[in-house]
Chain A
């Protein structure tokens, strides 16, 4: 079972309270698709992903970025049982979407960069540690139902 300190809980709540899901979600997904282009394999139905400009202006990418962040919101609201909160999502990503779980880490890293850019120096080492611990738990929960 994941043990969260009060400081870690406060950090995560604080980050989410400052996050504009409509902005950060799209930015993170766009960044992942550009920095790690092989991730585009999962979005063949999204239309034009031909180059960075196309990705940045693609409305389906933007919409999906928001979906991802709302998913993370659920984890944040259920921090003491992310494992079960994400059980269905894990099955979805494994059996329907067939996403290589390594991609979760790539998207997580891109979201971290977006948040760091947004928060500037208030994204201290301790805040980063709490945030990355949260993302690691999320990624682990998403991988859990793979077989």
Chain B
């Protein structure tokens, strides 16, 4: 399900609106993922504090949304643009790609929560497709 020009425009327009709150969105989404899908905590056993709003969660939420913003700017070539990030996830982090869907769901819930007026179904669809393509690009180097 590749991104149409309309999808790309919708994602960029939404990103422009939400990027000022990107750090908060990232922290919220990550905290929710760890709470609602406890199996994802297995990847963060090395953190002192896994509770929503904790230092490590906030810090890492910021890292993740930074990468999402980067992906938005590289939306015309996600596979090429995210090559090194894919390498990292494939060889070092080895996150099961099923979890990308889980994190995407939680980012979408937070966007819907914080920006209800900017997230009608058509925009939701484009964003869902974007995250799907992002996940695909991220898992490109896995095997």
Given contacts A128-B32, A129-B36, contact A35 B116 (CB under 8 A): no
Given contacts A113-B109, A117-B119, contact A35 B125 (CB under 8 A): yes
Return B26 CB to nearest CB of chain A, in Å. Answer: 14
Q: Assign chain A's interface to a size class.
A: 20 to 34
Q: Assign chain B's interface to a size class.
A: 20 to 34
Binding site for A on B (CB under 8 A): 28, 31-32, 35-36, 52, 105, 108-110, 112-114, 116, 119-122, 124-125, 128
Q: How far is the CA of A144 from the CA of B35 in the complex (A)?
A: 27
* Nearest opposing residue in chain A for B38, CB measure: A129
Binding site for B on A (CB under 8 A): 30-31, 34-36, 52, 55-56, 109, 112-114, 116-121, 123, 125-126, 128-129, 132
A132 contacts B36, CB within 8 Å? Answer: yes
B36 contacts A30, CB within 8 Å? Answer: no
Q: How far is the CA of A57 from the CA of B36 in the complex (A)?
A: 34
Return B5 CB to nearest CB of chain A, in Å. Answer: 17
